[in-house]
Structure 1
Amino acid sequence: MSLLDLPSEILLWVLECLGASFFRDDIGRLTVCKRWYGVAHHIFYADIELQAGTLSKLFAHPSLPTRAHLFKHSLKILTVELRGFMDWNRVCIQDLDDGNIQPYIDSWTSSINNNLSKLAAYIHEGKVLRTLRFTAWSEFTPIFPTLPRRDYLYFDTIFNFLSLDSLTVLELDTCGSHFIHYGVSQSQSGRQRHICQHIAALLPQLHCLRLRLREICPLALQPQGEDTPYLKSVIVNLSLSNEPSDITSASYSRRCGSSERPGFLQLRSDMEDQATRLAGHMSYPVIVRVLFHPHNGCSSLGWKQQYLDVLTGKRAMLEPSIPWDEDGETEPEDSGEESDTYGTSPGSDS
C-alpha cells in the first residue's frame, strides 16, 4: 500500500512526523499530487521560519490572500530572525554615503515593522499560534563601520505578538535592538509602554519562557496573580554577547527606564531573587536560571556564560555557543565579594 492509499488521518499523522522542515528542505515535496498537497501544505504552514527578506517577499507575493488564510488556521510555530538592514550591495550600487543613507535605512525599518504587524494581525484572527521564537540581532554595517549601532524594532511590533492569548512558548531575544517607541515621547515611553508588564501578563498561560532584552526588570517574572499552572521552564539571559557577527564586545542588559547606569550586580541580584520567587509559584518547575557573562569570560571562541540554577541554588559555567538550557560545569562558590565594576565591560551599552 502506498502512502496515498492511506486514510487521510493516517497520512496526516505520517506527514506530521516528518514535520515542516521536511518540506522546507525541498519545496517540491509539497506537490506530489492534489491529495498529498491538500494535507502537506497544512504541515508546511504549521511551522514557519522567516527572515527580513522572506517576510518582504511574502507580503509582496500575489498569493498573499491564500497564505494569509493558512497563517490564520495552520500556523502553530513561528520563528522570526532579524539582523537589521542587510541590503548593503544595493547601497553600493546607488553610491550612497554616510550622509544620505539614513532615509533609505529608515524606510526599510518602517517596512519590516509594518509587515510584522500585518503578520501578527493574521495570527490574531486564527488564535492557533502556540510557539513564538523571535530574535533580533545587532545590525552589522561592514561598508559603513563608522555608523553607530542602530535600533530598528518598534515596541508596537513586539506588543502585537505578546497580546496573543494562544501562546504557550515564548522565546524573545532582542539583544540587537532597543524598542523604538514610535510616536511616543521619551518621557512617556518608560511610564506607559513597559514591555515587562506585558510579558508578565503571559506567565499564567506559558509553559516555557526565554528572555534576553536590552532593557529588563524583575517585573517580567512577576505573575499577575498567584498561579502559573503550566510554567515549567524559565531562562533569562542578561548577557548581550555571542552575537553571530564581527561584534566582539559584550555588555549587559540594563534596568528598564534607567537613564543612568546602575550597577549590573544589583539588577542581576534582583532578577535572581524574582526568579526564585517565581519558581515558588510553579507547580512543576524543570529549569529556572538567570545567565550572564563573567567579566573575564571572553575566549577565542566567544563569551562564556555563567548562570544561577534557581532550583538547586548552584552556579555553573557554559562554554561559548552552548545552548542556554544545557548543563554547565558547576563553579565553586565565590570566596569574596564582587565589586560593582563586575557589571561593566568593554562595549557596555549606552
Structure 2
Amino acid sequence: MSLLRLPPETLAQIFDYIGSSFFHEDLGRLAVCKQWFEFALPACFKCVTISQEILRSLITSEAMRKPSPLKRSLETLDLELRGCHYPYSSTAGPQDNAQESDVLNRPASNEALDGVLIKTWINVLNEDLAQLAIIAQQSHRLRTLRIRARSSSSPDSLDDPEDYLSLRTVQGFLSVENLSVLVLDLSICPFNPSGEQGGDLHICPTIGSLLHTLRTLHLRMHSICPDVLKPQVPDDNLKLSVMVINLSLITNEPGITSAAHSKRCGSPAGGLLQLKADIQEQAEALTARMTSPKIMRVLTHSLPQFEIQSLDVLTGKIMMLEDDMAWDEDGKMVMEESEPESEFPDDEFSSFSDD
C-alpha cells in the first residue's frame, strides 16, 4: 500500500513524527509530489530557527504575500541574531543605497561602516522582526520562543552597533499568548526607538504577565528587576518548574571576555549584590505559588577568574559551572560564594582581547 494512500489523519501523525529537522537537512525532501508537499510543509515549519539572513529572505519571499504556513504550523521559534553581518563600504555611491535590500546584501569590506548604512540596516532588521512578531502572535500553536541577540563575534567588527535590537520589537514577541517556554538571551542592550523614558524601557512586567502559562523561563538581559518574577494574575498553581536568571553578561565569544553584570531597571541603586538579593527573594516568593518547582537558579560571575556561579534558590547551595555548561545544569559544589560585585564602574564594560 502506498504511503500517500493512508488516511490524512494517519499521514499527519507520520509527518509530525518525522519532524522538522528531516526537512531542514534537505529542503528537496519537500518536493516529492503535490500531496506529499501538503503534509511535509507543516512538518517543516513546526520548529524553525531564523537568523537575520534567513529572516530577510523570508520577508521578501513570495510566500509572505500569501497566508503564511508558519501561522498554521509553528510550535517552536528560535531567533538567532548575531549583530551586523553585513559590513557595507562607506565609500559606496548614492546609487548603491537606492534599495534597502541592496544594503543588506552588500559584499563585505574592511572599511569603517557608514553611519547611514548602519541605521538603514537596523531599521530594516527591526521592520522584518516586527513582521515576524505579527506572524508569531497569530501562530496559535506556538509554545516555545527563544530569542538570542548578541553583538558580532567577528574580530573585524568591533565597531559594529551593539544596540541594534529595538525594545518595541522585543515587546512584540512577548505579546504571544500561551507560551510554555521562554528564553531571552539578550547580551546586547536593546534600544528605545522613541528615545523617551517610559514603559518601552521596562519589559519586566510584560515577562511577569506570561508566568501563568510558562513552564520554563530563562532570562539574561542588560536591565532586569524582580518584576520579571511577579505574576500579573492571582494564580497559586503556576505550572512553572524551571527558572534561571543569568545576571552575568559573559558570552564566551572568542577573544573577548566581558566583566559586566546586568543592571537594575531604572535606578541602579544598591548595585549587583542588592539586585541579586532582591531577585532571589522574589524567586523564593514565586516558588510558593508553583505546583512543582524543580530548578530555580540565579547566575553571576566571580572576579578576576570570570567563573560562573549558580545559586540554587531551592536549596541555597552554590555551584561552579564550566564554560560549556547549560545555565540549568548542576555544576561543582562550592563552600562559599565568591564576591561577584564588579570592581569596574556599573555603567562601563571591560573587555580583554587575547593576542
- Shorter-normalised TM-score: what interval? 0.7 to 0.9
Distance 1:347 1:86 in 2: 30
Deviates more, 1:73-82 or 1:164-173: 164-173
- Determine helix, strand or coil for the equivalent of 1:269: helix
Change (3 A) 1:244 1:35: farther
Aligned to 2:82: 83
Aligned to 1:275: 283
Aligned to 2:178: 166
Aligned to 1:183: 194
Offset of residue 250 of structure 1 = 2.6
2:214 is aligned with 1:206: yes
Distance 2:212 2:276 in 1: 24
Offset of residue 59 of structure 1 = 1.0
- Pick from 296, 305, 308: which aligns with 1:297? 305
Q: CA RMSD in A?
A: 2.3
Offset of residue 158 of structure 1 = 0.6
Change (3 A) 1:12 1:347: farther
Of Structure 1 and Structure 2, which has the larger fraction of its residues in helix?
Answer: 1
Change (3 A) 1:153 1:245: farther
Change (3 A) 1:192 1:152: closer
Offset of residue 349 of structure 1 = 5.0
- Determine helix, strand or coil for the equivalent of 1:64: helix
Offset of residue 198 of structure 1 = 0.4
Change (3 A) 1:192 1:40: closer
Aligned to 2:342: 344
- Pick from 285, 288, 291: which aligns with 2:296? 288
Distance 1:14 1:278 in 2: 40
Aligned to 1:217: 225
- Pick from 137, 143, 153: which aligns with 2:165? 153
Distance 2:336 2:252 in 1: 29
Query: Is the Cα–Cα contact under 8 Å of residues 309 and 315 in structure 1 kept in the other structure?
Result: yes
Deviation readout 1:187-221 (Å, 9 max, x if unpaired) = x23x5641101000111111111100011011111
Aligned to 2:6: 6
How do 1:311-322 residues align onto structure 2 when only pairs under 5 Å count? 311-322=314-325
Distance 1:235 1:253 in 2: 14
Q: Which runs of 5+ in 1 are unaligned?
A: 299-303
Deviates more, 1:41-50 or 1:218-227: 218-227
Offset of residue 163 of structure 1 = 1.2
- Determine helix, strand or coil for the equivalent of 2:68: helix
Deviation readout 1:73-100 (Å, 9 max, x if unpaired) = 1111100000111112x438847854x6
Q: What code does the residue aligned with 1:331 have?
A: V
Query: Is the Cα–Cα contact under 8 Å of residues 241 and 290 in structure 2 kept in the other structure?
Result: yes
Offset of residue 343 of structure 1 = 1.5
Deviation readout 1:19-54 (Å, 9 max, x if unpaired) = 111110111111122222111100111111100111
Deviates more, 1:318-327 or 1:123-132: 123-132
- Determine helix, strand or coil for the equivalent of 1:239: coil
Aligned to 1:301: none
Offset of residue 5 of structure 1 = 4.0
Aligned to 1:32: 32
Offset of residue 153 of structure 1 = 0.8
- Residue-pair matches, total: 331
Query: Is the Cα–Cα contact under 8 Å of residues 45 and 71 in structure 1 kept in the other structure?
Result: yes
Q: What code does the residue aligned with 1:287 have?
A: I
Identity of aligned residues (%): 37
Q: Which runs of 5+ in 2 are unaligned?
A: 93-108, 349-355
Distance 1:84 1:262 in 2: 31
Distance 2:110 2:32 in 1: 47
Change (3 A) 1:110 1:230: same
Distance 1:129 1:148 in 2: 32
Q: What code does the residue aligned with 1:239 have?
A: S
Query: Is the Cα–Cα contact under 8 Å of residues 254 and 261 in structure 1 kept in the other structure?
Result: no
Deviation readout 1:323-347 (Å, 9 max, x if unpaired) = 112111111135xxx66xx321569
How do 1:131-150 residues align onto structure 2 when only pairs under 5 Å count? 131-140=144-153, 142-143=155-156, 145=158, 147=159, 150=162
- Pick from 124, 142, 156: which aligns with 1:111? 124
- Determine helix, strand or coil for the equivalent of 1:172: strand
Offset of residue 142 of structure 1 = 3.3
Query: Is the Cα–Cα contact under 8 Å of residues 271 and 346 in structure 2 kept in the other structure?
Result: no
